[in-house]
């Protein structure tokens, strides 16, 4: 086994994120006493899910493979309901558990299925996308989408452990590697500017999972997230910083019928949030411009069609950070100085959008 990094996530239900290559053998040890373990996966990860099932069987645990639709199509109440039917038919009890093998969509779904079954059973995300490793699998936010918006139904339900096996990234398409880096760059802007220096020094290496810098970026981003969620699991304040760029990003995803990659929407949303902060007099122009430059160097989108604005504004009104009719945005008062912009008026919101809009 390659060298394993263990990153603790503190709080009321602490656990570790394991980062390394070929560490899937660690799964059975995370679920002592389980009789049955459901292994949720989408079609592209079937082989890995089967391999995990064999590991569980060898440890005396009965695996229940459940194939779900890929990507955002899996984050739907009908899919969750079908999973609960399978758990019921197999007689899952409170000592049994759920594993999600895949990108953030599958682990969000798996965590949600686990959070609701018998009001909460143990679960483990086996993150196989870069975005999943640095973000979705860490922190216990689980959920599904609805027609009205992204992740509008869900639960805070921390896993008992997270596996981030870097070997799985060898098969991840380049476009998804880059999309995951949007969340890494987010962590750079809100908390760890060294991330930005590393990405800017060699954007190509940043997207190469075999490069040493890729592992350093992954571990740095996980540490940023772990530190935040340890202090505020239920997002009563501090955790909102992780939502930097997400107010517009989620509106774009909803507008696209959840066919855009989350990381792509986040890239546009980050540039928008930086522009908003600059226009509000909160952020200096060089730091705001750095968002567009760094994300562009990674091949990520930084603009969105101008005529979508009315629908995007409507979607942003049901963002989870909104209070009553007051929109709230995570902005920067400087590098690594996240803060809230409370109740910006529609003129300011539209002016910032004009700067990210494409014809
Ligand atoms: N819970 C959280 O805190 C949190 C944080 C960030 C994002 N998210 C959610 O995560 C989702 C985005 O995650 P994502 O970017 O991983 O997208 P995704 O889960 O849709 O995966 C992208 C694609 O990559 C494929 N894939 C994954 N791993 C692979 C591998 N090793 N080899 C080949 N193909 C592989 C998937 O099957 C899918 O087709 C969104 O739904 C977002 O809302 C949740
Ligand atoms: O973990 C968090 O908190 C985040 O905000 C991380 C985001 O990257 C992630 O996309 C999350 O799912 C968004 O949460 P939501 O509550 O805005 O749906
Ligand atoms: Zn995100």
- Which of 246, 255, 262, 248 lies closest to 71 in space, CA to CA? 262
Give the CATH number, domain containing residue 237.
1.20.1090.10
Active site residue 320: no
- 198 lies in the same domain as 132: no
pLDDT, mean over the chain = 97
Residue in the structure block whose two tokens are 């603790």: 8
- Which of 217, 102, 220 lies closest to 171 in space, CA to CA? 102
- 196 lies in the same domain as 342: yes
Instruction: Give me ligand 3 centre to Cα 189, in Å.
Output: 14
In this structure, is residue 73 part of a structural domain?
yes
Q: Are 31 and 177 in contact (CB under 8 A)?
A: no
Helices (H) and strands (E) in the chain, counts: 14, 13
CA triple 59-63-66, angle to 5 deg: 155
Active site residue 239: yes
ipTM of the complex: 0.99
Region for residue 118 given its phi and psi (left: phi exceeds 0; alpha: psi -120 to 50; beta: otherwise): left
CA triple 155-312-339, angle to 5 deg: 65
Catalytic residue among 157, 235, 253, 255: 235
314: domain range?
A: 187-358
What digits encode the pLDDT tens for the residues 278-328? Answer: 999 999 999 999 999 999 999 999 999 999 999 999 999 999 999 999 999
Instruction: Tell me the backbone φ, ψ of residue 315, rounded to 5 degrees.
Output: -65, -35
Give the CATH number, domain containing residue 120.
3.40.50.1970
Confidence of residue 136 (pLDDT cuts 50, 70, 90): very high
Q: What pairs with residue 154 in β-bridges?
A: 143
Nearest alpha carbon, ligand 1 atom 39: 71
Q: Is the distance from the beta carbon of residue 240 to the nearest atom of ligand 1 less than 6 Å? A: no
What is the pTM (predicted TM-score) of this model? 0.98
What digits encode the pLDDT tens for the residues 202-217? Answer: 999 999 999 999 999 9
Nearest alpha carbon, ligand 1 atom 9: 104
**How many independent structural domains does the chain possess?**
2
Active site residue 76: no
pLDDT of residue 328: 98
Q: Are 36 and 50 in contact (CB under 8 A)?
A: no
In this structure, is residue 178 part of a structural domain?
no
pLDDT of residue 240: 98
Atom of ligand 1 nearest to the CA of 253: 43
Instruction: For residues 121 and 136, give the distance between their C-alpha atoms in angstroms, rounded to a whole number.
Output: 19
pLDDT of residue 258: 94
């Amino acid at each position: 086994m390659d060298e394993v990094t263990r990153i603790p996530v503190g709080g009321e239900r602490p656990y570790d994120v394991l980062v390394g290559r070929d560490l899937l053998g660690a799964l059975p040890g995370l679920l002592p006493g389980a009789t049955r373990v459901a292994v949720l996966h989408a079609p592209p990860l079937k082989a890995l899910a089967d391999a995990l099932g064999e590991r569980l069987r060898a440890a005396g645990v009965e695996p229940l493979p459940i194939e779900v639709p890929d990507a955002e199509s899996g984050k739907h109440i009908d899919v969750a309901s079908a999973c609960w039917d399978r758990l019921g038919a197999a007689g899952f009890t409170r000592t049994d558990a759920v594993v999600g093998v895949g990108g953030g969509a599958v682990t969000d779904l798996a965590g949600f299925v686990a959070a609701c079954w018998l009001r909460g059973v143990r679960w483990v995300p086996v993150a196989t996308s870069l975005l999943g490793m640095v973000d979705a699998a860490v922190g216990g936010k689980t959920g599904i989408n609805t027609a009205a918006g992204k992740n509008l139904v869900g639960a805070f339900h921390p896993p008992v452990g997270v596996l981030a096996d870097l070997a799985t990234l060898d098969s991840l398409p380049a476009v998804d590697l880059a999309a995951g880096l949007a969340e890494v760059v987010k962590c750079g802007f809100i908390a760890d500017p060294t991330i930005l220096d590393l990405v800017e020094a060699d954007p190509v290496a940043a997207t190469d999972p075999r490069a040493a810098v890729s592992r350093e970026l992954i571990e740095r981003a996980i540490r940023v997230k772990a530190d935040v969620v340890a202090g505020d699991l239920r997002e009563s304040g501090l955790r909102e910083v992780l939502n930097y760029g997400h107010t517009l990003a989620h509106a774009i995803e909803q507008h696209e019928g959840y066919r855009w990659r989350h990381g792509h929407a986040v890239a546009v949303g980050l540039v928008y949030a930086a522009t908003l902060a600059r226009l509000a007099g909160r952020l200096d122009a060089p730091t705001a411009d750095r968002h567009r430059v760094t994300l562009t160097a990674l091949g990520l989108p930084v603009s969105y069609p101008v005529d979508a604005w009315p629908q995007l504004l409507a979607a942003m009104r049901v963002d989870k950070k909104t209070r009553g009719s007051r929109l709230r945005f995570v902005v920067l008062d400087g590098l690594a100085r996240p803060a809230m912009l409370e109740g910006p008026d529609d003129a300011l919101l539209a002016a910032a959008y004009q700067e990210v809009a494409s014809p």
